[in-house]
Amino acid sequence: MGSGPEFDLVRRMVARWGDLAANIGSDAGRVELPAGEQAVASTDSAIEGVHFKRQWLSPREIARRATVAALSDLAAAAVTPRAVLLALGLPEELRDVVEEIADGVGAAVREAGPHARIIGGDLTRSPHLVLGLTVIGSGAQPLGRAGARPGDAIYVTGVLGGPQQAIEAWERGDVPTAWARDRFAAPRARIAEALWLRERGAVAAIDISDGLSSELAHLAAASGCEFRIDVTRIPRPAGISWQSAVRGGEEYELVVVVRGDLDVDAFARAFGVPLTRIGVVRASEVGRVIATEDGARVDLPGGHDHFSR
Amino acid sequence: MGSGPEFDLVRRMVARWGDLAANIGSDAGRVELPAGEQAVASTDSAIEGVHFKRQWLSPREIARRATVAALSDLAAAAVTPRAVLLALGLPEELRDVVEEIADGVGAAVREAGPHARIIGGDLTRSPHLVLGLTVIGSGAQPLGRAGARPGDAIYVTGVLGGPQQAIEAWERGDVPTAWARDRFAAPRARIAEALWLRERGAVAAIDISDGLSSELAHLAAASGCEFRIDVTRIPRPAGISWQSAVRGGEEYELVVVVRGDLDVDAFARAFGVPLTRIGVVRASEVGRVIATEDGARVDLPGGHDHFSR
């Protein structure tokens, strides 16, 4: 790497990453992929004022969360994370916290398993903080959204509703509960969970970035089946309605379609979070989601759309 | 893909891409890589107000140029482009030009050879136009920045100085010359050129994103050799000084270190741009660049640093 303030900032970040960084400073970073595996890639941006406000989260939390959001797409594909690239748009006044940003990215990459490395990136001035994360993973047979068949069961990981509750509290000027804040500020990419489920009959999956309601619609549309959901089963804490739990985005939990029996207790013991069966796949002429509450049909409120008002 | 304004915008872009898009709408896009090849990846951002002004270029030009800038890193590695991901931060008032943005990305991907596909992305609202491009390529043995040895020759593709001249004209309130504007607005990623050079003895390369001066310093530092440059040889049109030609960034031409003889006329015939020998690699205890003009030592002005003032 050369000299100058831009490279000094990069060097400060690379110093924090240590062994997590590989080959930084080239034009194009090498991606180490096992022979015979299929590679997949995903990109995700977190833009100040759109996805977060600087006063809600620390720079470390902002960076970790943005990285988890990208890695979560690899969890949905049930592949092993191999490479991470960071495109950082940094306002002048945040140069002092570049180490904290590096630490946040590093924490998420470290949690993503032993094979993930930061192999490159791009650093530039920007009027707003912008984090662009691209992740590359590989696996023998990545999961997609299609593949559900009648008789399959529909599961969701974790407990929903926290991020939405935290945002609503901040927007009212309140302080969110510790649980809700943590769910927003420190989500986890369910990588290990996805690999576990992949080995035990998972045939389709998606991560909850825009809300359970819209993710179920994506899965149902891709598979051309009916997804019949019992809304009373949707995992949420006391005090959060199922309507709120299905609407909220940025959960980074997984919705997984599974063929055959699954030991949900073993999952909970292995990962410390619940796995909950929320419904079943049925034959249908069109892909659709049917929700019931105590046997009666109910409407699922829609998910989050970045271009809706 | 589901319903809603965000997905409608994505669908409008995918419709423009046609066969160039593959598997859009999944969480993670598949990357098709030939067995036995090494994969490399690079990411690059173009942010409004930092890398371009909306009044200088059309939306199509902005998008094409941002995509070329990313692909240029694959040219520097002399690999075949395989996959492109677009992270687009779109201000509300630019929704109407989403097709033009798609066309600009598509044009650059199409120019990058028959194997490049747009496999995914991310679309979000943003206060400024932000384009994050990630590119993945593969090759038997990607070029790096290190690898120069004493006796190697140093070449540069194309004719330098245009982008810098265009920016200076705009910043003065003038209209740039057609040549300078075209060099800024419509650069080319030198992919085919790089593969040609790779087959004919290229051992190290870099693309000119921050200025020839700083790219030579990177190569010299990585190789631990002296790069001796004859500044009178630097390819530039009449009216542009060598000082200006070595300082300007965003050229996306290549600096290539070559072992053995090279037919520069064959290169010019094949690609319609010149290939110019500008210097030679010599043994040195430290990596450094030595510039001479008619035999006398001269200083090379430094390149562009996004964090300098």
**Is the Cβ pair A137, B4 closer than 8 Å?**
no
Amino acid at position B192, single letter: A
DSSP string covering A108-140, please?
HHHHT-TT-EEEEEEEEE-SS-EEEEEEEEEES
**A239, A150, A256: which is closest to A199 by C-alpha?**
A256
3-state secondary structure of B58: coil
- For the ranges A20-29, A233-242, B12-21, the lowest mean pLDDT is seen at A20-29
Q: Report in angstroms the alpha-carbon separations of B183 from A134, A283, B84, B176.
A: 29, 57, 23, 10
Chain A: give the shortest CA distance to residue B120, in Å. Answer: 6
DSSP string covering B157-190, please?
ES--SHHHHHHHHHHHT-PPPHHHHHHHHS----
> Contacts of residue A12 in chain B, CB cutoff 8 Å?
none
Residue A50 predicted with pLDDT over 80: yes
The pLDDT assigned to B265 comes to 98
Residue B42 predicted with pLDDT over 90: yes
Rounded to an integer, the average pLDDT of A113-129 is 94
**Closest chain B residue to A27, measured at CA:** B73
Per-residue pLDDT tens over the stretch A194-231: 999 999 999 999 999 989 999 999 999 999 999 999 99
Rounded to an integer, the average pLDDT of B141-169 is 96
Rounded to an integer, the average pLDDT of B117-124 is 94
Residue B5 predicted with pLDDT over 80: no
> Rounded to the nearest 5 degrees, what angle is found at the Cα of A246, between the Cα atoms of A243 and A251?
135
CB B10, CB A59: distance < 8 Å:
no
| Rg value, chain A, Cα | 20
The pairing of strands A275-282 and A153-157 is antiparallel
Rounded to an integer, the average pLDDT of A293-302 is 90
The pLDDT assigned to A42 comes to 96
**Spatial distance between the Cα atoms of A255 and A235, rounded to a whole number of angstroms:** 12
Best probe of the A interface among B13, B31, B43, B206, by most A CBs < 10 A, is B43
The pLDDT assigned to A7 comes to 80
**A239, A195, A223: which is closest to A279 by C-alpha?**
A223
Q: At what angle do helices B5-17 and B98-111 cross, to 10 degrees?
A: 40
**B77, B78, B54: which is closest to B66 by C-alpha?**
B54
**Spatial distance between the Cα atoms of B134 and B124, rounded to a whole number of angstroms:** 16
Q: Which residue carries 């490395």 as its tokens?
A: A117
CB B97, CB B59: distance < 8 Å:
yes
**A133, A59, A68: which is closest to A103 by C-alpha?**
A59
**Is the Cβ pair A41, B73 closer than 8 Å?**
no
The pLDDT assigned to B233 comes to 97
> Contacts of residue B24 in chain A, CB cutoff 8 Å?
none
> Contacts of residue A54 in chain B, CB cutoff 8 Å?
none
Confidence tier at A309 by pLDDT (50, 70, 90): very low
Q: In percent, how much of chain B has pLDDT > 70?
A: 97
In the DSSP assignment, the letter for residue A286 is S
Say whether residue A130 is in contact with chain B using an 8 A CB cutoff.
yes
Residue B305 predicted with pLDDT over 60: no
Confidence tier at A142 by pLDDT (50, 70, 90): very high
Residues with Cβ within 8 Å of residue A18, at least 6 apart in sequence: none
The pLDDT assigned to B6 comes to 77
Say whether residue A50 is in contact with chain B using an 8 A CB cutoff.
yes
CB A237, CB A248: distance < 8 Å:
no
CB A118, CB A106: distance < 8 Å:
yes
The pLDDT assigned to B195 comes to 97
Residues with Cβ within 8 Å of residue B164, at least 6 apart in sequence: B244, B245, B247, B248, B249
Amino acid at position A260, single letter: G
Residues with Cβ within 8 Å of residue A124, at least 6 apart in sequence: A88, A89, A90, B45, B47, B50, B51, B306
Residues with Cβ within 8 Å of residue B290, at least 6 apart in sequence: B226, B227, B228, B229, B297
> Contacts of residue B307 in chain A, CB cutoff 8 Å?
4-6, 9, 95, 125
Residue B302 predicted with pLDDT over 90: no
The pairing of strands B226-230 and B288-293 is parallel
**B123, B131, B158, B129: which is closest to B53 by C-alpha?**
B129
Chain A: give the shortest CA distance to residue B180, in Å. Answer: 24
Q: What is the rounded average pLDDT for all residues in chain B?
A: 93
Which A residues 166-195 touch B at CB under 8 Å? none
**A16, A96, A103: which is closest to A67 by C-alpha?**
A103
Torsion B67-B70-B73-B79 (CA) sign: negative
Chain A: give the shortest CA distance to residue B139, in Å. Answer: 11
Per-residue pLDDT tens over the stretch A98-117: 999 999 999 999 999 999 99
A23 CB neighbour count, 10 Å cutoff: 17
Note whether ipTM > 0.85 here: yes
For residue B257, give both structure tokens: 């270190």
Rounded to an integer, the average pLDDT of A31-55 is 91
> Contacts of residue A87 in chain B, CB cutoff 8 Å?
43-45, 87, 132, 134
Say whether residue A5 is in contact with chain B using an 8 A CB cutoff.
yes
Burial of residue B272 (number of CB atoms within 10 Å: 0-12, 13-18, 19+): exposed
**Is the Cβ pair B29, A50 closer than 8 Å?**
no
Confidence tier at A1 by pLDDT (50, 70, 90): low
Rounded to an integer, the average pLDDT of A81-102 is 96
Say whether residue B123 is in contact with chain A using an 8 A CB cutoff.
yes
Per-residue pLDDT tens over the stretch B272-296: 999 999 999 999 999 999 999 999 9
CB B136, CB B41: distance < 8 Å:
yes
The pLDDT assigned to A307 comes to 59
Confidence tier at B16 by pLDDT (50, 70, 90): very high
Per-residue pLDDT tens over the stretch B186-209: 999 999 999 999 999 999 999 999
Say whether residue B68 is in contact with chain A using an 8 A CB cutoff.
no
- For the ranges A13-27, A184-198, A249-263, B182-196, the lowest mean pLDDT is seen at A13-27
Say whether residue B207 is in contact with chain A using an 8 A CB cutoff.
yes
Say whether residue B4 is in contact with chain A using an 8 A CB cutoff.
yes
Rounded to an integer, the average pLDDT of B127-149 is 95
3-state secondary structure of A202: strand
Q: Which residue carries 């995903």 as its tokens?
A: A42
Rounded to an integer, the average pLDDT of B58-73 is 97
The pLDDT assigned to B20 comes to 95
The pLDDT assigned to A3 comes to 62
Which B residues 19-38 touch A at CB under 8 Å? 25-31, 33, 35-36, 38
The pLDDT assigned to B52 comes to 83
3-state secondary structure of B12: helix
| B56 strand-pairing partners | none
Rounded to an integer, the average pLDDT of B226-234 is 97
The pLDDT assigned to A203 comes to 97
Q: What is the rounded average pLDDT for all residues in chain A?
A: 93
Residue A240 predicted with pLDDT over 80: yes
Confidence tier at A5 by pLDDT (50, 70, 90): confident
Q: What domains are there in chain B, each with its CATH number?
A: 5-139 (3.30.1330.10), 153-298 (3.90.650.10)
> Contacts of residue A218 in chain B, CB cutoff 8 Å?
1-2
The pLDDT assigned to B309 comes to 39
Q: At what angle do helices B191-198 and B264-271 cross, to 10 degrees?
A: 150
The pLDDT assigned to B146 comes to 93
> Contacts of residue B45 in chain A, CB cutoff 8 Å?
87, 89, 122, 124, 130, 132
| Rg value, chain B, Cα | 20
The pLDDT assigned to A80 comes to 98
**B306, B117, B195, B291: which is closest to A121 by C-alpha?**
B306
Rounded to an integer, the average pLDDT of A239-254 is 94
